Amino acid sequence: MTAAHLQHQALHTPVLLREVVTALSPTDGCTYLDATFGNGGYTTAILEAAACAVIAIDRDPDAIARGAGLADVYNGRLTLYEGVFSEMQSLAGPDIGLDGIAFDLGVCSTQLDQPERGFSFRFDGPLDMRMSKSGDTAADIVMGLNERELARILWEYGEERASRRIARAIVRARETGPITTTGELAAIIHAVMPARRPGQIDPATRSFQALRIYINRELGEVEDGLAAAEAMLKPGGILAVVSFHSLEDRIVKRFLTERSGGAVRPSRHMPVTEGPAPTFELVSRKPVAPSEAEALTNARARSAKLRVARRTEAPVAPRPTKPKRRS
């Protein structure tokens, strides 16, 4: 194991790292794509496992800057691109056939630990939450949207049962002055929510999650990224996706069920219709969960699920176009 690998492992060990690398089974001469580079945990492990090449993508310019030194260490075997993973075909080139693709759909731990990025209420910082440092900030959304739209976002993307109450409190609070920091928003939420009981998540958690997902169009990215991966994987190529909450996992599960020939009915009252030839086969029908040891040492791992599928030889078939998700 190189010094570069040890340094990156110390900075950030991704959830389910061993399981993801085992699923990909890196092989000499093959090419893999790390769709969510972050601190390079998956990338370094793949490069260490075989004399292969990795294409890595991240929308965060800070992540790309951190990876520049790693690209030098691996002497041409690592190529980095700044951008969203839904655009992997245009970034890496549509004619590149990939032997494996890994997605870690969680927020990079470095982003959570930097108060200036505004992702966490653990630290007081600017209310930002942008992964790419461009576009609307969380403060723009909180200050600009009406109460009904705020409540919809909190419910749809945070599954927050008190969405209307929190949205009402936000609108009331901004009448007296701008809401510009994570601490200010958390205090508004805490003031209208029951006190946290032992073992419960912080009352602000779901609201912060909802705003982050909306701002970064995370769910739409997952849908588009999976479709792009389907087009870029070679027959026999492996797709490995780690998700952290039910909204993401629902999308991944539905995609793989549809693409592996499983029946997904819009309603139980409608008949199953035969679709295109399966483009994936499931490696396991049940998701892989973290080991008990990993869950104990890394609280972030507890909700993680890994789903793995293998690309078949079937061509990607045209499918009905769906309206683009805002988030």
* pLDDT tens for each residue of 104-133: 998 877 767 777 787 888 889 999 999 988
Phi (first) and psi of residue 267, to 5 degrees: -150, 145
CATH number at residue 154: 1.10.150.170
The more confident residue out of 327 and 80 is 80
Would you say residue 169 lies in a domain?
yes
Same domain, 171 and 236: no
Same domain, 204 and 222: no
Residue 162's pLDDT band, with cuts at 50, 70 and 90, is very high
CATH number at residue 291: 3.40.50.150
Helices (DSSP H) in 50-145: which residue ranges? Answer: 61-73, 88-92, 109-112, 138-144
Would you say residue 116 lies in a domain?
no
Would you say residue 10 lies in a domain?
yes
Same domain, 167 and 226: no
Same domain, 37 and 169: no
Residue 1's pLDDT band, with cuts at 50, 70 and 90, is very low
- Going across the sheet that includes 305-311, the strands are 78-82, 53-58, 31-34, 98-104, 233-243, 305-311, 280-282
Same domain, 7 and 92: yes
Question: Hey, is 239 helix, strand or coil?
Answer: strand
Residue 294 has pLDDT above 90, yes or no: yes
Distance, CA of 227 to CA of 241 (rounded, Å): 13
Where among 156, 184, 215 does a domain terminate? 215
Where among 193, 215, 237 does a domain terminate? 215
Classify each residue of 61-73 as buried b or exposed e, where b means 16 or more C-beta atoms within 10 Å of its C-beta.
Answer: ebbbebbeebbeb
Distance, CA of 253 to CA of 75 (rounded, Å): 37
Confirm if 78 and 58 have CB atoms less than 8 A apart.
no
Name the residue range of residue 235's domain. Answer: 3-110+218-311
Pairing of strands 305-311, 233-243: antiparallel
Would you say residue 190 lies in a domain?
yes
Q: What is the pLDDT of residues 86-101, one digit of tens each?
A: 999 999 998 899 999 9
Would you say residue 162 lies in a domain?
yes
Q: What percent of the chain has pLDDT over 70?
A: 90
Would you say residue 321 lies in a domain?
no
Tokens of 160: 């927050």
Where among 186, 215, 244 does a domain terminate? 215
Question: Hey, is 234 helix, strand or coil?
Answer: strand
Same domain, 18 and 62: yes
Same domain, 209 and 222: no
Confirm if 53 and 77 have CB atoms less than 8 A apart.
yes
Same domain, 197 and 295: no
How high is the pLDDT of residue 4?
A: 46
Residue 273's pLDDT band, with cuts at 50, 70 and 90, is low
Residue 8 has pLDDT above 60, yes or no: no
The more confident residue out of 298 and 82 is 82
Same domain, 26 and 77: yes
Would you say residue 262 lies in a domain?
yes
How high is the pLDDT of residue 322?
A: 62
How high is the pLDDT of residue 319?
A: 66
Same domain, 17 and 105: yes
Residue 274's pLDDT band, with cuts at 50, 70 and 90, is low
Same domain, 210 and 238: no
Same domain, 189 and 238: no
Tokens of 94: 């549509």
Q: How many structural domains compose the chain?
A: 2
Would you say residue 83 lies in a domain?
yes
